[in-house]
Structure 1
C-alpha cells in the first residue's frame, strides 16, 4: 500500500482492514477485472478506492470512472474518494443528475483524474460530446447488480461503447450477485469472482417483526419518536404511502425528512444532511435509499411496508449495523406478512406480539447510539473487535411478495413531499391529551372573544 495511505490509516486509528478490503487489493492493483461480493457495511468503497487511486497518474486526464445507481451513493462515494485522492494530489469530480450541469462542465475542463457519477448524467455528457473517455483505465460499477438491470443496463452499455477499449479494467462491486451472462455480454470478458459474503463480521443486528395493523403503523412511529436518541430510516414501497405518513408526522410536529425520486439534487442533499446531523428523527424513503448509503451509527431501520423480496430486505437492513456496530431492523405487518418475510430471508426474526422492548426507553441499541450531530460519513475498516459475529441477512432465491403498486419513477413522484422543518430540540413531543386540551382551550377563548372589538 502507498506509504501516504498507510500513514493516514494509522493516524486515523484504523487497526485492521476488513476481509473484502484485503481480498481485492492485489487483484485491483494488478489491473485485473473482478466481481467482488461482500455484505453491506463492510467498507467496499475504500476497498476499491485505495488500490485504484495508486494506479492513477496526476494531471493525465480522466483515468478512473465509478458508476453508482443513485445520486446519494455517488455523492457519498465522491466524498470518500476525494478525502484519499487529495493525499496524492488527485482531483475527483461528481457527475450526477439533478445537479447544476454548467458547474460540472466547467470542472470537466480541468480534466479531473477521477469521475464518480450516475449513468444517466454520464450518458448525457457523452452524447453531447462534453465527456471523452479515451484515457480511461478503470471502470467501477458500485452496486453492480442494480446497475446491470433494465434501462440502467442499457445506459451502462452506452458508456462502455463510448470507452471502446477492451484493455480497460472493469470492477463490479455489490452485496448481491450480478447476472454473469449480462455482465459478460456487456463487457465481453470473464470476471474473477471474489466472494466475501460468508466471512463473519463482528456485528450484531437484531431483526424484529412487530404485529401491527395497517391503520396503526403511523401511531407506532409516533411512539418511537418519543424515545430518547431515536433515529431511523423508514422504508416504504410506494411514494403515495410515504406522503401520507409524512403528513401525519408533520401534523404531530415530529422532525423528519423525505428522500424520494423526483426531488432536486439540492433537496435530497438537504434531507440527507438534516438526518445525518440528527435534526430529523426519521428519514422517510423508498428503495432509492436502500443501497450503499452510510449513516454512521444509525440504530434502527424500519420497514413500514413489507419488502417485495429478500434482496430488498437485505439492502434495507444494511443501513444499520455497519462496520461492526449494533443495529435493529423492525418490520410492521400482520401474521401473514410475518410468514412471508421468514420465507424470504435466511435470518432469525423475532415476532413481537406485546409491547416492544424498544418502547420502554431502555434499549441498549438506543443508549449506545450517537447523541446526534457532528458525525461524518465514513467507510472505515473494522477494528475486528466487539461482539461475536452473527449471520448477515441473506435473501432466499426466487421468493417474492406480490404487491398492487410500485415506486417506479412517475409524474406523481415529482410532487414528492419536501423536507419538513423539525421542532426545536428542546421542545418535547406533545401527547394527544395535551394537544387536545390546548385546542379545546383555544376554541373556548375564541368563543369568549367573538364579537369584541380588537385592541389597537
Structure 2
C-alpha cells in the first residue's frame, strides 16, 4: 500500500491525519480489496482494521452512485463508530455515509436514503428491514463488509446475514474482519468458497504494553473493590460483567456512594447508550459498566484500565475486553477479579492466550504488585509499586 495511490481528497485526509505509514493489516489488504477479492482479514484488537477496509473502499467509490458499500456491524455502537471514521475520511469528497441501526427513527433513515449515500453502515436487523421495504436497492451493492464477523455468524445474526446475502448480487465483493475470525472460518466456508485469508496476528506489533493482573476477592466484596478503584486518582476504565443483573446491582451501589459511573446495556435506548459513551469519553464518568456488548470495536482513546468484574466466559471474550486498552501502541492495565472458585478459569484462559497474569493488591489507594505489609514493621521491606500502572 502506497498512499500515493489515493485519490486527491483521500491523500489530503491522510496528510491531515498525520499518518506516516499504514498499519500492517492496512498494508496487507489494500491491494486485494482494491482488486475486488473476497477475503477474511484477521488482526489484533486496536490494530487499525476499520481503516484497513475503509481506505481502499473509499478510494474507489464513485460519487453519486447510491449504496455501493454496505458495512454490517455486530452492535449499534460499533456502527456509529465506523460512521464517524468514514465521515472523517470522506471529507472533501462530497460523498455521504449513512448509519442504519435499530433503535433509531426508521422514517428518518428512509429520508436519508433518498439522498443516495454512497456508503451504508448498519446492524443486520435494520438493514434487512430496509432492504425488504425496498428502501435499499440490494443488487446495487458492490461490496459487503462484515465487521466483527465472529459475532455476526452467531445465532439470529447469522440467519439475518444469510438473508441479506441472498438479496445481493452474487458477484458482490465480500470482506470479513475480526480479531478472532480464524475461529469461524469453518462457518464462513459454509457460505463462501475461494476466500483469501489475510492473518497478520503473529507479525503485528501494534499492541502496546499491556499488563495483566488479578485481584483475589469474593462475590460479596467485588463492589467494594470497584469503589476503591474508582477512588484512585489515576483510574478511568471500563468495568465488564458477565450478567446484566450483576451490572445493574453494582451500578446502583456505586451511585449510592456518589461515584461517577454510567452503564452501557443491551436493554437501554439508543439515546441512553450514546450518552453513556459520550460522558465516559469526556471523563464526566470514570467507570463505564458494561457487558461484552462494548468489548467489540468500541475505541476509547488512551484508555488506561479495563476491569473484569467476572472472569470472562471464553478466551475470545477476554481478548476483546482487554483490547480496549493498548490500542495502536498505547499502554494499559487489565485487572480481573477472581474468587477461589474461578481463579483456575482465569489462569486457564491466560495460558491459552499466552498472557502473563500476576496478582495485584489494592492498598492505601494504590495498586501494589507485592502483597502489602499491613502492620507497621520497620524491619520488613516495603512493597514495590506497580510499574506503568498509572497515567501521568
Using the size of structure 2 for normalisation, the TM-score is 0.90
Give the match's secondary structure for 2:47. coil
Give the alignment of 1:332-347 within 5 angstroms. 332-345=337-350, 346-347=354-355
Query: 1-side partners of 2:312 and 2:366: how far apart?
Result: 22
What's 1:20 paired with?
Answer: 25
The answer on 1:367 being equivalent to 2:391 is yes
Task: Specify the alignment match of 2:310 in structure 1.
Answer: 305
Q: Which moved more, 1:241-250 or 1:331-340?
A: 331-340
| Structure 2 unaligned residues grouped into runs of 5+ | 369-384
Q: Given that residues 241 and 308 in structure 2 are in contact (C-alpha distance below 8 angstroms), is that contact kept between their aligned partners in structure 1?
A: yes
Tell me the equivalent position of 1:238: 243
| Number of aligned positions between the proteins | 366
Structure 1 residue 121: Cα displacement: 0.6
2:61 to 56, 62, 72: 56
**Displacement of 1:10:** 2.5
Q: Which residue of 2 aligns with 1:44?
A: 49
Partner of residue 452, structure 1: none
Distance 2:120 2:313 in 1: 33
Distance 2:34 2:251 in 1: 46
Query: 1:90 offset after TM fit, Å?
Result: 1.3
Residue 140 of structure 1 is matched in structure 2 by: 145
Instruction: Report whether the alignment pairs 1:352 with 2:356.
Output: no
Alpha-carbon offset, residue 363 of structure 1 = 6.3
Q: Distance in 2 between the 1:275 and 1:353 partners? A: 26
Could you list the per-position Cα deviations for residues 337-382 of structure 1 after superposition, in whole angstroms to 9, with x for gaps in the alignment?
22211212321101236749944798644323xxxxxxxxxxxxxx
Unaligned runs of 5+ in 1: 369-456
| 1:296 corresponding residue in structure 2 | 301
The answer to whether residue 111 in structure 2 is matched with residue 103 in structure 1 is no
Q: Pairwise CA RMSD of aligned residues?
A: 1.7
Do structure 1's residue 126 and structure 2's residue 131 form an aligned pair?
yes
Q: Distance in 2 between matches of 1:16 and 1:342?
A: 37
C-alpha distance in structure 1 between counterparts of 2:366 and 2:170, whole Å: 54
Q: Which residue of 2 aligns with 1:222?
A: 227
Please, which moves more after superposition, 292-301 or 201-210? 201-210
- Is the Cα–Cα contact under 8 Å of residues 46 and 207 in structure 2 kept in the other structure? no
1:307-365 alpha-carbon deviations (Å, 9 max, x no partner) = 11111100100011111000000000124422211212321101236749944798644
* 1:320 correspondence with 2:328: no
Q: What does residue range 56-455 of structure 1 map to in structure 2 within 5 Å?
A: 56-163=61-168, 165-176=169-180, 177-186=182-191, 188-199=192-203, 200-201=205-206, 203-345=208-350, 346-352=354-360, 355=363, 358-359=366-367, 364-368=388-392
Q: What SS does the corresponding residue of 1:21 show, helix, strand or coil? A: helix
Alignment partners' CA distance in 2, 1:312 and 1:86 = 35
What does the per-residue CA deviation read over 1:151-206, in whole Å, with 9 as the maximum and x for residues that have no partner?
Answer: 1000000110111x1210000000002523321322x4221000011122251000
Q: TM-score, normalised by structure 1?
A: 0.77
Looking at structure 2, the residues matched to 180 and 367 of structure 1 have their Cα atoms a distance apart, in angstroms, of: 39
**Does the CA-based 8 Å contact 1:68-1:142 persist in structure 2?**
yes
Is this contact kept in 1: 2:9–2:91, CA < 8 A? no
Name 2:373's counterpart in structure 1.
Answer: none
Q: Please report how far the alpha carbon of residue 230 of structure 1 lies from its aligned counterpart in structure 2 after TM superposition.
A: 1.4
Q: Distance in 2 between matches of 1:100 and 1:78?
A: 17
Alpha-carbon distance in 2 for matches of 1:310, 1:362: 25
CA distance in 2, matches of 1:354, 1:78: 40
- In 2, Cα distance between the equivalents of 1:254 and 1:102? 39
Structure exhibiting the larger radius of gyration computed from Cα positions: 1
TM-aligned CA deviation for residue 214 of structure 1 = 1.3
